Structure 1
Amino acid sequence: MLWAAAALTAVAPTLYFWIVSILAGDYGSRSYISTYWGSCLGWDIYDRVFPRTYLITDFPLFSYGGAPLIVLGCAGWYLSLRSGRARLGRIIGRCVAAVLLVLNLPGFLLPTLDAALGPACLDAWGPPELFSAQVGWGLYDCLPPVLVLLAVRAPRRVFVRRGPVVRTTAAVLAVTAVVLLPAASAPPGKVNAQWELGCPGFGDGTVKGLSEADKRFLCTVRYDHRYGSGLEEWNQVSDEAVLDQGRHLCALATRHGGDIRARAVQEAPQASLAIALPSLCPAVTRAEQAEEERWQAESDAYVAREERACAAHPRHRPKIRPVRQRRATMWTEFWTIEGWEDGYEGNPPDLVKDLVGSGRGALAIWAADEAGSACVTVESYTRRPPLETRGWEEVVEVGYESPSGSLQLVGGEGPTLKGLTDRGPGSYRVRVHLRGRTLVTQVPDPPDGAVELLVMVFPGTAKKPVAYK
């Protein structure tokens, strides 16, 4: 009866799915893909070993849950008993059970081991329902070999004390069951999605029990694209655990005046969360705001110094009267200040003599050694002005084609100088005078207002650039 029960238990799932598929008319299969970047002991073993077991389980003897192997083992056991060799029958039965246990026990033990290691390792096995199914079917597949062991057990009339190996094995299995089974039955920590947290751009959120600061912190950790796809090492950790670690780091930062750059904070195990702490930790928020105000005050003071230095330069005295003359301190983070007309933005031309370049509707003028400011004077003329080279280090003139007559000079910050092409659409010449390049490129800390530019724009049909100096 036990042999029959073992065979029926092994073949029952296959029969069940056959019947369900026939009744439902659905003969398709289902597959799941789980993407996981972590490293957990149980999953790593399963991933290395399980694909190789297909070489064994695909053999017909192991199909239908191992039912053919059980039937064959039952026949060997029965023939051994009939021939008076009961010991050989028990060996055959135990070999059948051992083979099935070796094939089926990892399907239960390995996911249970990862469950004991922490919630993050559960994600390697897919959603919670798939994890539960894995453990459940792993236990079920171990039932047929257990029934086989019961079928071939030797009858004992008196109590026999087991040996030390058997006792030790039984104790280890009992302790393992006590430790691992509660962990496997505990639900994994919740990781809320963007729409559940109400991250910016994803609605108001539906998650309950979290403050707005908690939600902002989790959104920053998991989904802030300024940090790639978030702080990826925390993607598999439950929201509750992330918040606990964030609060611990907040307390540590608070003891250091809210400074996330403090050594104790940077060396903490959860230090990668520091970048998201302003969303959660008031002390860090205040410290970051104070630092931003200090930096802004320094920046404003620097800008004011540069503007005062530019204003202190003598005003250019043109040899003929221009239509318009304007002065400004202009800034750049990428070497040049740009001139654009509507519809021609974003494609700066190459520079002639590394000073000025022009194209249809576009102009570029070197202004700083990568980043900085220049004291710019722009003059518009109705006719060609006299050439001036005295006092200037470089003088280069290029042709410029204005499609709309609306050329304007734009820096990274500060004012925009408009009205350069006074006669509207047409052909112009742009003459650029420069001094201060040598100073800013050769001196580590050049004085304020070191670079001076004089830009003359006047009508002219010549296209060829000319370097006067």
Structure 2
Amino acid sequence: MLLATAGMWDVATRSGANLVLLRYVGFCSGFEIDSDAWATLRWRTPLRYLAVLALLLAFAAHWASVRRECGTVGRVIVRVSVLAISLVHGSGALILALELGVDRNCRTVLGELGLLHGVRAFLIADIALTLAALCALTAVRTPGRVPRRRLRRLARSHWFKRTVAGVAVGGLLCFLPVADLGSGPVTGRDACGTEEPLKLRAELAFLCDARSSFPTMPDHLLLAYGRRQCAAYPGAGVKVSLIAPICPPAARQWAMELAAEEAEIERRNAANQAACDQSRHRPRIRPVAVARDLLWSEIGLEAFEDHELTSDEDPPLHHDLVGSTPGHLSVGASAEFRICVTTETYRRRPPVEIKGWDRVVEIGYESPTGDMVIVDPMSGPGELTNLAFLGEGHYRVRVHYREPVWDQDLPQHILVMVFPGSSDRVIAHKL
């Protein structure tokens, strides 16, 4: 018994780290049954020490009781210790069987780790102390107390046969429903190609849409789930957009919702464009060029020139409106509303206009390439033209900003005037 305990000691202590690693790789049903509090109790190193210490003390008690010719006391102590250790550390094999037999996710985790390594990592920490306890129990058994003849009589008895048959039938009845949860093919996102899901075959379109929510569920189970959702339509909790490819009633509703959404977008675009057209700027002197565009940017507007002097970092905004470094101009705006942008270039300094604007700030800008186009960084070039009309060199940039009409959901306005100038001075005409 002492040799068995010592032999299991190193294996049990070294495998704990592997099993804890496996625990955090994936979420398996066996681990859910093996609750966090219970697992924390089992994997605490002091408890492992106590289990080994309990076996050593049980061995000492048994040896002392044999020396004093009262072996019954020692056997009782050993059996109590074995029972306690088995209750705490004897569930590993049962949980592993549940993982391999039922939970496909856990089989995937074990496969990624390597099946042999995964099983060893799962079992050894538990099985080590369990085997040591069983060895101790074997060491203190009383010879001749269970003769072979009695075992044969037990195996031939009618009640034993009925019990075994009942357990077998009950096990089949319990596990047959689980057989339907077996693994099957899983269509990945790569099988969807570059086409829009709704253009694909109905079932494949559904699988492609559903993979973001159910990444590992087998195809046949996922399709069964979708059909149950279709049968429950239009009940509460049914996601119309998800089941539309395989559910004609939901597809009709989803098409109506998409059409209504597109109509609302077109209506808002028309209203925003009308607001831009009604508030067009009238220059006080003749500009070189004028360009207008209706944009919607989540991070503001910028002009970025591809040159070694250009920095990738956004320049700091002066008065939360405009900032510049060589080759990089940045203009701030609200991300919640569209932007009516107007750009004007002049050969000489235009008059300052502050009436009708909420903020007007003027700064210097150096163009290293002569290619200065304001764009939305997220969508790329629009209708605006090059503002560095004299080529590379130094310019002055005056930015005007008008806030959106918040209650009417109408756009914000930005007017950018660019003209030659060598100064880098920041001038706040209106704040």
Q: Given the two structures, how large is their TM-score scaled by the length of structure 1?
A: 0.60
User: Out of 404, 407, 412, which is 1:444 matched to?
Assistant: 407
Aligned pairs (5 A) from 1:337-352 = 337-343=301-307, 344=310, 347-352=313-318
Q: Secondary structure at the match of 2:82?
A: helix
Match of 1:55 in 2: 49
Given that 1:197 and 1:215 are in contact with CA atoms closer than 8 Å, whether structure 2 keeps it comes out as no
1:18-62 deviation digits (Å, cap 9, x = unpaired): xxxxxxxxxxx8773412465424775354146444334544964
Give how far 1:423 is off. Answer: 0.4
Match of 1:300 in 2: 266
Match of 1:399 in 2: 364
Given that 1:42 and 1:111 are in contact with CA atoms closer than 8 Å, whether structure 2 keeps it comes out as no
Give how far 1:311 is off. Answer: 2.3
Give how far 1:203 is off. Answer: 12
Are 1:142 and 2:134 counterparts? yes
Give how far 1:404 is off. Answer: 0.8
Unaligned 5+ runs, structure 1: 1-6, 16-28, 81-87, 156-171, 205-210, 224-234, 266-273
Are 1:316 and 2:305 counterparts? no
Give how far 1:429 is off. Answer: 1.1
Give how far 1:361 is off. Answer: 1.6
Give the whole-Å Cα distance in 2 for the aligned partners of 1:342 and 1:97: 80
Given that 2:366 and 2:395 are in contact with CA atoms closer than 8 Å, whether structure 1 keeps it comes out as yes
Distance 1:370 1:221, change over 3 A: closer
Give the whole-Å Cα distance in 2 for the aligned partners of 1:384 and 1:337: 23
Aligned pairs (5 A) from 1:11-410 = 32=18, 33-36=21-24, 39-41=32-34, 44-45=37-38, 47-49=40-42, 51=44, 52-59=46-53, 62=56, 72=63, 75-76=66-67, 80=69, 88-104=70-86, 106-109=88-91, 111-112=93-94, 119=102, 123=106, 129-130=119-120, 138=130, 142=134, 145=137, 148-151=140-143, 153=145, 197=186, 199-200=188-189, 216=208, 219-221=211-213, 239=217, 244=221, 247-248=224-225, 250-252=227-229, 254-257=231-234, 263-265=236-238, 277=242, 282=247, 291-314=257-280, 316-319=282-285, 321-334=286-299, 336-343=300-307, 344=310, 347-367=313-333, 369-410=334-375
Give how far 1:406 is off. Answer: 0.4
Given that 2:96 and 2:123 are in contact with CA atoms closer than 8 Å, whether structure 1 keeps it comes out as no
Give how far 1:296 is off. Answer: 3.2
Distance 1:200 1:384, change over 3 A: same
Distance 1:150 1:398, change over 3 A: same
Provide the aligned length of Structure 1 versus Structure 2.
Answer: 379
Q: Secondary structure at the match of 2:371?
A: coil
1:162-217 deviation digits (Å, cap 9, x = unpaired): xxxxxxxxxx9x99999789989x9997678xxx846346999xxxxxx8568647
Q: Secondary structure at the match of 1:350?
A: coil
Match of 1:462 in 2: 423
Q: Secondary structure at the match of 1:311?
A: helix
Distance 1:150 1:180, change over 3 A: farther
Q: Which 10-residue stretch deviates more, 94-103 or 458-467?
A: 94-103
Q: Given the two structures, how large is their TM-score scaled by the length of structure 2?
A: 0.64
1:355-409 deviation digits (Å, cap 9, x = unpaired): 3333222223344x44212333222222223444455554432211111110001
Distance 1:71 1:188, change over 3 A: farther
1:279-309 deviation digits (Å, cap 9, x = unpaired): 9855667765654443333223312221133
Distance 1:427 1:61, change over 3 A: closer
Corresponding letter in the other structure for 2:363: V
Given that 1:113 and 1:180 are in contact with CA atoms closer than 8 Å, whether structure 2 keeps it comes out as no
Given that 1:356 and 1:432 are in contact with CA atoms closer than 8 Å, whether structure 2 keeps it comes out as yes
Corresponding letter in the other structure for 2:346: Y
Unaligned 5+ runs, structure 2: 9-13, 148-162, 194-202
Distance 1:213 1:331, change over 3 A: closer
Given that 1:382 and 1:459 are in contact with CA atoms closer than 8 Å, whether structure 2 keeps it comes out as yes
Match of 1:166 in 2: none
Q: Secondary structure at the match of 2:369?
A: coil
Give the whole-Å Cα distance in 2 for the aligned partners of 1:410 and 1:390: 26
Match of 1:426 in 2: 393
Corresponding letter in the other structure for 1:72: W
Given that 2:62 and 2:75 are in contact with CA atoms closer than 8 Å, whether structure 1 keeps it comes out as no
Give the whole-Å Cα distance in 2 for the aligned partners of 1:92 and 1:152: 18
Corresponding letter in the other structure for 1:199: G
Distance 1:47 1:383, change over 3 A: closer
Given that 1:108 and 1:136 are in contact with CA atoms closer than 8 Å, whether structure 2 keeps it comes out as yes
1:73-113 deviation digits (Å, cap 9, x = unpaired): 8945xx74xxxxxxx54454344334334334544346537
Give the whole-Å Cα distance in 2 for the aligned partners of 1:72 and 1:280: 74
Given that 1:389 and 1:468 are in contact with CA atoms closer than 8 Å, whether structure 2 keeps it comes out as yes
Q: Secondary structure at the match of 2:344?
A: strand
Distance 1:416 1:101, change over 3 A: same
Given that 1:115 and 1:122 are in contact with CA atoms closer than 8 Å, whether structure 2 keeps it comes out as no
Give the whole-Å Cα distance in 2 for the aligned partners of 1:468 and 1:55: 77
Give the whole-Å Cα distance in 1 for the aligned partners of 2:51 and 2:105: 26
